[in-house]
Structure 1
Amino acid sequence: MSAHDAVIHALHGLRTVRRRATRRRILVLAALAALTLLLFYLDLSYGRTFYEPSKVFGVLAGQDVPGAGFIIGELRLPRVIVGTLAGIAFGMAGSSFQLMLRNTMASPDIIGITSGANLAAVVGIIVLHWSGTGLSMLAMAGGLATAAAVSWLSWKGILAPTRLLLMGIGLAAALNAATSWVLIRGDQWDMQAASRWLTGSLASADWSDVPQLAVIVIVAGVPLLALARQIDVLRLGESTARELGVRVDLVQTMVIVLAVILLSSATAASGPIAFVSFLSGPIAAWLSGPSRPALAPAGLVGASIVLLSDIVAQHVPPTQLPVGVITGIIGGPALIALMVRMSRKQVFV
């Protein structure tokens, strides 16, 4: 075989690999979208009363369905929409941090950003007695301030992932202690509301939460998806990314700001639903393959985790539980398994 034929053969093989990767990515996205829609429907249908598909779709179409309009349209539908949007936000935010920092452990709920949003929101609930948009803005400010603090503490001319992870874990411990201090200083009713919120719950979700969260998921999520190719280059290392023309500092700043906005807004709406940010990225990457950053699949995985956990929380235990309890039960063992796997491969350094 001549050199020319060898090059042609290699290019043909590369095109084949790319086509297969693209086909797999499309199939995974379609399957995850279908799963999310199925869980969305099941979460609407099942409860103390089961409603058949004709009634569910009738309510969704805006029809007046006696006996189902209020239960589905006013109680279940906003809860399920908030859970879906929060799951998308958690999944995309977590995956963005993990990809940018090239470390599966670098999830916002591990490196302290969720803790910062939690502290700000608890102060808003207990001290300021805020709710709605004000609480969302305060949680967002807390998350952004924590991200800035962690980045500043870990800065060594470049954003050092291992140093950021360690600094984030330490800052998270301090912020969690501050949150506990604020909690014990509140009155009984505020403590109960804040504690329920900290567990991660969709019980108080209503239509007032939906427009704001939907707008933020679109406004922050779409630009984050547009940065996917540059985030992919960052996985090669900062020096290599600069040589390939990526404005590393600008891209990192944009990813951090957009991801924290997504995370904080979802946290304000539903509370810090445990481990969704941490688990969504690795699951999406395993399904999609290593070809490109799986930000969109991670969002759908996050939505599926939240919806499935909400269904389990409502119907499996003897009494209804907050959705964060179920994700915590799932996520704890998953975190231990991942840490054992990473330590065996020696990828912590």
Structure 2
Amino acid sequence: MTLSTSIRGALVGVRRELVVLAAVVVVLVALVLVGLGVGSIPLTPAQVAGALFGQGDRISDFVIGQLRGPRVLGAVLVGASLGVAGAIVQSVVRNPIASPDVIGITSGASAAGLTAIVLFGASGGTLFSVVLVGAVVVSVVIAGLAWRRGITGNRVVLVGIGVAAICLSITGWMLTSGTVTQAGTALLWLSGSLNAVDRNLVGVLAVAFVMLFLLALLQSSRLTVLTLGDEVAAALGLRPDRAKVLLLLTAVCLTAAAVATAGPVSFVALMAAPIARRLVGGGRVALGPAAAVGAAITLGSDLIAQFAIPGNALPVGVVTGVVGAPYLLWLLARGR
């Protein structure tokens, strides 16, 4: 293969990734407009556009600025965070089921958050910080137990499943230790709900996502090399273990930010990256498309959760779980 052929192939791959990203963004924008317009107070497309561009009436400004806007933006940011986190973890571990949901990161973050809710009534920035610390601590434990002259895929998955079981036990203990009111609040949060998302929380998540996504993009070339295997990566001058730690830490922080905002929205991280890779093709990591697909899955699932059953809104995590669980079973059935 000549240099010109390699460059041409790389350009074709980049162009296809941009086309896929643009197509998914169009779908996402359509979902955003639907999410802003439908509800108990329906808004026309003209009212939505007017409110978005600062020319709306008092009702549309209030509905979009205070009620629907933060929820829609929260769904987009939570899904994008989980999509990027899943893409990083699956590429580093080189295992399609090695998402933050499966290997225990989400369970650890949830256990830490629930403990803070039940014991201290934490919310907002305090809950955000506690969930982040819990996710990092659990990730360090998983990495330490799975380390055998490096981080390998199967060991991480198996150790993560065991650690997740421990975290689920802590979660159950906290649920039985709190009051009825605390248990109700905790159960809603554990289901993955966007009901409590407000402008302040979305602002914190937006800042965290932008910083972490840029950090992930800066490491994307290392991530691509790691998909070729540790030996090839080392031969190309990369220190595999150091690169893996930095990348996984980025994924952990993205997962923690999403969980702190909406609770553990299950299976979005598992589904988004494979769908994006399949659309892009060529074995590309495709962090941008993974973020867009994750955002579309979460926002679409939240719309289904709100309006599929009239008068009975569901947590978004229930819908993503209904879709994601069969996908996980399919992966396990077709894998070796």
Give the TM bin, normalised by the shorter chain.
over 0.9
Match of 1:95 among 80, 84, 87: 87
Query: Shift of residue 66 of structure 1?
Result: 3.2
Instruction: Point out the more displaced range, 294-303 or 249-258.
Output: 249-258
Query: Shift of residue 333 of structure 1?
Result: 1.0
Instruction: Give the distance between the partners of 1:22 and 1:171, measured in 2 at CA.
Output: 38
Match of 1:144 among 109, 123, 136: 136
Match of 1:335 among 323, 328, 335: 328
Instruction: Give the distance between the partners of 1:39 and 1:257, measured in 2 at CA.
Output: 31
1:131-170 to 2 correspondence within 5 Å? 131-170=123-162
5+ long unaligned stretches in structure 2: none
Q: Which has the larger radius of gyration?
A: 1
Say whether residues 1:195 and 2:187 are aligned partners. yes
Q: How many residues align?
A: 335
Query: Shift of residue 138 of structure 1?
Result: 0.3
Match of 2:313 among 320, 329, 332: 320
Q: What is the TM-score when the length of structure 1 is the normalising length?
A: 0.93
Identity of aligned residues (%): 37
Alignment CA distance shift 1:308-1:187 (3 Å): same
Provide the secondary structure at the position in 2 that maps to 1:302. Answer: helix
Q: What is the TM-score when the length of structure 2 is the normalising length?
A: 0.96
Instruction: Give the distance between the partners of 2:6 and 2:141, measured in 1 at CA.
Output: 43
Instruction: Give the distance between the partners of 2:242 and 2:155, measured in 1 at CA.
Output: 20
Partners of 1:229 and 1:292 within 8 A in 2: no
Deviation digits for residues 68-112 of structure 1, max 9, x if unmatched? Answer: 222221000001111111111000001100000100111111000
Deviation digits for residues 194-249 of structure 1, max 9, x if unmatched? Answer: 10000001111111111110111011111111111111111121122111011222
Instruction: Point out the more displaced range, 225-234 or 135-144.
Output: 225-234
Provide the secondary structure at the position in 2 that maps to 1:127. Answer: helix
Query: Shift of residue 13 of structure 1?
Result: 4.3
Say whether residues 1:268 and 2:272 are aligned partners. no
Give the corresponding residue for 2:204. Answer: 212
Query: Shift of residue 47 of structure 1?
Result: 1.0
Match of 2:108 among 101, 109, 116: 116
Query: Shift of residue 21 of structure 1?
Result: 1.9
Give the corresponding residue for 2:242. Answer: 250
Say whether residues 1:225 and 2:214 are aligned partners. no
Instruction: Give the distance between the partners of 2:160 and 2:316, measured in 1 at CA.
Output: 25
Query: Shift of residue 12 of structure 1?
Result: 5.1
| 1:179 partner letter | T
Instruction: Give the distance between the partners of 2:159 and 2:322, measured in 1 at CA.
Output: 26
Instruction: Give the distance between the partners of 1:12 and 1:244, measured in 2 at CA.
Output: 20
| 1:102 partner letter | R
